């Protein structure tokens, strides 16, 4: 089978032919239809996450995928050949940018019923992170107000849709064409961060979803009401600043989790939510996709067709 692999940190990913993986008793062999790229993929490639996710080489790129069950192991018998599935792979193992991959049966979820299989590849990390941040950590409730930074990004685009479906008021930051995208996704108000200072326009929010870090994170503490919470996805928040503003702060460390992923898929189904797709590419174009992901200009998900 064809794979996109690296043989060291910061190495150029290259296509290689390797054997189809064997599956363990509790694994399922999945024929990959499509994978999606994440900022994490670039960080893994550059070695920026080696303390948390040390890689063994050669390493097959990609963590998020959608495909069909090819062969379930004896402990993965709830799945049948041909079932359409999505999964987030353990980042230390990777493997999504390949024609087949062995996935722990417990990490699989069925795809949303009305969603194209290739677009479903954009769900696992981005939607799972947004879900974990908003509902498992921030405990977002109907009637609350949430500020979502980078509303036209992968995590932000799902966060806007999940928050709106939950009955929350949504403020988003974006720029350029991302402003209209955030509005279409359901944001009640969109702030152009290139021409407006959100810290001067927003106050008394219940939740801030910080997907940017740096100065954006520091300024975000000041827009929360007393007792509100900032949830960060890119860097651990400053606990001293949180205490000074009398708010809470938390960091999302997203892990592969089949039951959570199935819960996310069900929510997407119920609300007819969409995967915001920046572009679709072939496996042969995956290196260009990684460069685009690294540029920080992606509006939503980059989908790589593998089949």
**d(Cα 54, Cα 255) in Å, to the nearest integer?**
15
- Residue spans per domain, the chain: 2-123+275-305, 126-251
Q: How do residues 70-128 score in pLDDT, each as one tens digit?
A: 999 998 889 999 999 999 999 999 999 999 999 999 999 999 988 999 999 999 999 99
The predicted pLDDT at position 307 comes to 83
Q: CA geometry: angle at 148 spanning 147 and 153, to 5°?
A: 165
* C-beta neighbour count of 17 within 10 angstroms: 8
The predicted pLDDT at position 115 comes to 94
Q: Which fold has domain 2-123+275-305?
A: Quinone Oxidoreductase; Chain A, domain 1 (3.90.180)
Q: How do residues 48-81 score in pLDDT, each as one tens digit?
A: 999 999 999 999 999 999 999 999 999 888 999 9
The predicted pLDDT at position 47 comes to 96
Interacting residues of 301 by C-beta distance below 8 A, sequence separation 6+: 36, 37, 121, 122, 126, 154, 275, 276, 277, 278
The predicted pLDDT at position 76 comes to 87
The predicted pLDDT at position 266 comes to 94
The two domains 2-123+275-305 and 126-251 share their CATH topology (first three levels equal): no
The predicted pLDDT at position 77 comes to 84
The correct CATH number of 126-251 out of 2.40.160.20, 3.30.450.40, 3.40.50.720, 3.40.630.30 is 3.40.50.720
What percent of the chain has a predicted confidence (pLDDT) above 90?
95
- For residue 181, what are its two tokens? 């995208």
The predicted pLDDT at position 140 comes to 98
**Phi and psi angles of residue 50, each rounded to the nearest 5 degrees, phi first:** -65, -25
Low-confidence spans in the chain with pLDDT less than 50: none
């Amino acid at each position: 089978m064809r794979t996109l692999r690296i043989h060291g940190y910061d190495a150029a990913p290259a296509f290689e032919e390797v054997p189809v993986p064997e599956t363990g008793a509790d694994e399922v062999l999945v024929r990959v239809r499509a994978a999606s790229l994440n900022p994490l993929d670039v960080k893994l490639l550059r070695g920026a996450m080696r303390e948390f996710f040390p890689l063994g080489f050669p390493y097959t790129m990609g963590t998020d995928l959608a495909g069909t069950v090819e062969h379930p192991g004896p402990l993965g018998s709830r799945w049948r050949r041909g079932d359409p599935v999505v999964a987030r792979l353990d980042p230390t193992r990777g493997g999504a940018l390949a024609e087949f991959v062995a996935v722990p049966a417990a990490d699989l979820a069925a795809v949303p019923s009305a969603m194209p299989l290739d677009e479903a590849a954009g769900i696992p990390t981005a939607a799972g992170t947004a879900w974990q941040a908003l509902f498992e950590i921030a405990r977002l409730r109907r009637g609350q107000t949430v500020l979502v930074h980078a509303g036209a990004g992968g995590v932000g685009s799902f966060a806007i849709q999940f928050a709106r479906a939950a009955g929350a008021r949504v403020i988003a930051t974006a720029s350029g064409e991302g402003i209209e995208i955030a509005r279409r996704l359901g944001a009640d108000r969109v702030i152009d961060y290139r021409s407006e200072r959100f810290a001067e326009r927003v106050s008394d929010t219940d939740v801030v979803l910080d997907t940017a870090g740096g100065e954006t994170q520091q300024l975000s503490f000041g827009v929360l009401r007393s007792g509100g919470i900032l949830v960060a996805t890119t860097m651990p928040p400053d606990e001293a600043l949180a205490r000074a503003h009398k708010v809470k702060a938390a960091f999302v460390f997203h892990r592969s989790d089949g039951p959570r992923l199935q819960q996310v898929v069900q929510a997407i189904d119920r609300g007819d939510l969409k995967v915001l797709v920046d572009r679709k590419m072939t496996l042969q174009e995956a290196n260009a996709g990684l460069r685009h992901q690294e540029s920080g200009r992606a509006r939503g998900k980059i989908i790589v067709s593998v089949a």
